[in-house]
Structure 1
Amino acid sequence: MIQVKKEGVLLAKTLIPFEDEGVLNPAAIREGHFVHMFYRAVSQGNHSSIGYCKLNGPLSVFDRHKKSLLAPEFDYECQGMEDPRIVKIEDTYYLTYTAYDGINALGCLAISIDLIHFEKKGIIVPQISYAAFDQLAEQSSPINKKYFRYNEHIGVLESDLEKSLIWDKNVIFFPRKIKGKFHFMHRIKPDIQIVVGVENLKDLTEAFYQDYLSNFNDHVLLSSKHDHEISYVGGGCPPIETDQGWLIIYHGVKDGLYGYIYSACAALLDLEEPRKEIARLPYPLFKPELDWELKGEVNNVCFPTGAVVFDDTLYIYYGAADERIATASVSVSALIKELLLYNKQDDK
């Protein structure tokens, strides 16, 4: 079993109003010896914006802003900007996040060339009702029955039902174009899906998604397989390129006696055909075990969203109990070696 070191809590909430309820689920990107971190900051009333801090090395906070770097501006994000991820493709940084308007949670994009000024590009996932999704997705073959269970809008007022869309979160770009085209993961519960081969992000039109959803099962990347992820899976950190494939750190969820348990999980995808799963750990990479992971705003949560590599060490930044940001570290080479013991071909 792979050895993971829990490095401890990196960031905790402060008394500053924009983050006085919690800090969690950060995006992270390395530039030289520094790590730029963009984290979900929660204020009273569960309103989220994106805070910023800079690390000197993987574990030492060097600078931390006292106000949000990015905050809601538009109707589609009026109740919050949540769970950012970031990659650099060519000369542009792509920061994705979940926009929440009080009813719908949908994946959005902002871009930057300097990590200071960001241009919001809006929602980049399909905007479609569950009924329309169900009709399209089952055109070619039946879909997982869990899709209905997890995509009901529980608690939405009857007057708002017509505004309710299927939630599509955890938009995560691959950190380079593959065969000259954009690829990104997203998540409609209970699986992780993948969009491949997009020439220009302006091509993500309603017509594009009508065709995409009409062949929905072809775009499912990862589904629940092992006990620790039996309820559902979702995106985690941006893919890490290795010689053996794309290393994917994602989250897996199990419904336990005291509620859902969120664990960090690992898989390996083919470098040039990322829809192809090479291997997957049959156990959690790490799971809630310590007090600050077991108890918080949401108990029993390790939710990985950012990762950087220093030498052979992968540092994974994660939301701990939806209240604080912690770090875990693991040897990249050891993790790849362990993953390859569970080659998917061996399952057949």
Structure 2
Amino acid sequence: AVGDEPDSFTERHLITPFNAKAATLFPGRIDGDIVMLLTAHTDYTNEHPRPTIALARAKKMEEFYDPEYWKSWHDHLNDHALPELRRDDGDHVEVGASPVLTERGWLLIYSYVQNYYDEHKRIFSIEAALLSRDNPQKLISRTESIFVPQEFYEQYGLVPNIVFPTSATLGDHSELDIWYGAADTVCAKASVRLRDLLRALDPERPARTFIRAPENPILAPRGDGFESRDVMNAAAIDLEGSIYILYRAMDKENTSTIGLAVSKDGVHIDERLPEPIYVPRVDFEKKRGSPTGNSGCEDPRIVRIGNQLHMTYTAYDGVHSPAGAVSSIGVEDFLARRFGHWSPPVLLTPDSVDDKDIALLPEKIKGNYLLYHRVNNQICADLLSDLDSGKRVTRCIEIIGPRRGMWDYEKVGSAAPPIKVACGWLMIYHGVSRHGKYRLGAALLAEDGATLLSRTADPIFEPLEKYEQEGEISNVVFSCGAVVRGDIVYLYYGGADKVIGVATASLAHILDALT
């Protein structure tokens, strides 16, 4: 449609003689051409079962009205196509908003539908891609889903659970406003800071927010003893100028114990003890199943409250459901290496409930301990008056749950214990995608440690290096500990359940993205 005003069109023309939807024009000529972006074959046919997003170029607008132009174009459709945006063959894509020109290239907001051909599993979402300024057929980078139906007006309407983008404009305060249809019933707008979105799309920063230490992995399996098979998932605490890294170690029989390494600068290992500092001591963590089955003390997290260090961990005997446990030691005893002074372990979670990812808030809340744990794939919390009487959590105060259709769709769990910040608590958590990839995100909690204030839309750390993608379990970065020195967050994590790495980030940058 052509006209002088948005509400006054004087011409209408059929463009594509074949099935196509969601066509739009780039807002400016590229290399002298008018460029159209469209989705060909959005509807299933035997001849063309899947959609294709492609570019069409013309010197004059009238060329787009000519059926012969489109016949020739369609005969060479693959030559005009963008790189495949679908991750699975059952997914669907369509052009959304007209591209927005940025300093990095053309920003494309588009529709992505997971499991499109299964009406019971279909998930509508919005994604972003960055296209080359001079050659928009070249894909620079892309996000995963940054927006899914969550509000009631997106979940309920003529066609429930739909968000479909149709326009994107630059708003006030350097925000990108995304205009979209919700549940095929109403129109809505969502906003994102353009610089944050472009940062997520920056190919020069593939590690997202955190930067890996060049020395990685800083710890790997060694010898024939307690850490001969794997080392992973490290807790960390800063005491008297040194960072103590308490890590899960596995031997050839798949028994997990806790090892200790020490670093003064947070990266280089100055000392690594030859024996574990914590081993299975009671029935609920001693091996009962197969002689080579998993068992022991897994995934430690440690906090200091007063003069005591409290280590929470997953206790597993190889037969019963994994459970959350805690053991404590005085700071003085820990520094003096009197590891025989660990208190007897106490279970904190109910029997017969698969409850893992146990972490404590590093401060008491009105005299109570706040314990985070994972039930039904979501992060829960509960208050405990003490840690040694045998009292267990009985509630799931929901903190964070999986987000349908996003990178943390399948499950979420605590990573490091929350970090105290001026506006509350910074929680780093892990999320698992529908493809089983483990990544890390960040959330801001209020001072009570239980009220969610904000949460990153995309991950802040993901498996990219070979030692994170190949190991006992592929495509995993899993953290149990972080230390803050000045503005730098030192994040300790397991790579592919095989080795341990460290990555750093600016605390101010993470908080800026959350506030």
Match runs of 1:1-348 below 5 Å: 1=199, 3-7=209-213, 8-78=216-286, 79-103=295-319, 104-113=321-330, 114-115=333-334, 116=337, 117=339, 118-127=342-351, 165-196=352-383, 198-202=384-388, 205=391, 209=393, 212-213=394-395, 216=396, 219-225=397-403, 227-256=406-435, 260-271=436-447, 273-340=448-515
Aligned partners of 1:250 and 1:266 also within 8 Å: yes
Provide the secondary structure at the position in 2 that maps to 1:9.
coil
Separation in 1 of the partners of 2:388 and 2:309?
A: 17
In 1, Cα distance between equivalents of 2:260 and 2:497:
17
| Aligned-partner Cα distance in 1 for 2:431–2:359 | 16
| Structure 1 pair 17–202 and aligned structure 2 pair: CA distance change class (3 A) | closer
- Counting aligned pairs with the same residue, the percent is 32
In structure 1, runs of 5+ residues without a counterpart are 128-164, 341-348
Tell whether the 8 Å contact from 1:16 to 1:66 is kept in structure 2 after alignment: no
Deviation at 1:202, TM superposition (A): 4.9
Residue range with higher mean Cα deviation, 238-247 or 173-182: 173-182
| 2:234 partner letter | P
Residues in 2 aligned to 1:124 and 1:58: alpha-carbon distance in whole angstroms: 31
Shift of 1:204: 5.5
Local SS of the residue matching 1:335: helix
Q: Secondary structure at the match of 2:508?
A: helix
Are 2:361 and 2:449, in contact at CA under 8 Å, matched by a contact in 1?
no
Q: CA deviation at 1:91?
A: 1.1
Q: Once structures 1 and 2 are overlaid, which stretch shifts more, 58-67 or 113-122?
A: 113-122
2:284 aligns to what SS in structure 1?
Answer: helix
Deviation (angstroms), 1:46 = 1.4
Deviation at 1:193, TM superposition (A): 0.4
Structure 1 equivalent of residue 105 of structure 2: none
Per-residue displacement from partner, 1:151-207 (whole Å, max 9, x unpaired)? xxxxxxxxxxxxxx12111110111112222111011231010013x332356636x
The residue aligned with 1:154 is none
What SS class does the counterpart of residue 337 from structure 1 fall into?
helix
Distance 1:204 1:74, change over 3 A: closer
Please report the TM-score for the alignment, with normalisation by the length of structure 1. Answer: 0.80
Query: What is the rounded CA distance, in whole Å, between the counterparts of 2:389 and 2:485 in structure 1?
Result: 36
Letter in 1 for 2:356: K
- Alignment size in residue pairs: 290
Runs of 5+ unmatched residues, structure 2: 1-198, 200-207, 287-294
SS at match of 2:468: helix
- Please, what is the CA RMSD of the aligned residues? 1.5
Distance 2:424 2:449 in 1: 8
Deviation at 1:70, TM superposition (A): 1.0
User: In 2, Cα distance between the equivalents of 1:277 and 1:252?
Assistant: 16
Cα separation, 1, equivalents of 2:232 and 2:391: 32
CA drift at 1:124: 1.3
CA distance in 1, matches of 2:374, 2:325: 13
8 Å Cα contact 1:111/1:119 also seen in 2: yes
State the 1:223 CA deviation.
Answer: 0.2
Cα distance between partner residues in 1 of 2:363 and 2:299: 21
Q: Does the CA contact (< 8 Å) of 2:358 and 2:373 recur in 1?
A: yes
Asked whether the 8 Å contact 1:51–1:67 carries over to 2, the reply is yes
State the distance in 2 between where 1:243 and 1:89 align.
19
Partner Cα separation in structure 1 for residue 373 and residue 344 of structure 2: 18
TM-score normalized by structure 2? Answer: 0.55
TM-superposed deviation, 1:241 = 0.2
For 1:3, the aligned partner's letter is: T
| Distance in 1, Cα, partners of 2:449 & 2:496 | 31
Residue 18 of structure 1: SS of its match in structure 2? coil
Give distance in 2, aligned partners of 1:53 and 1:244.
32
What letter matches 1:121 in structure 2?
Answer: P
Cα distance in structure 1, aligned partners of 2:390 and 2:345: 12
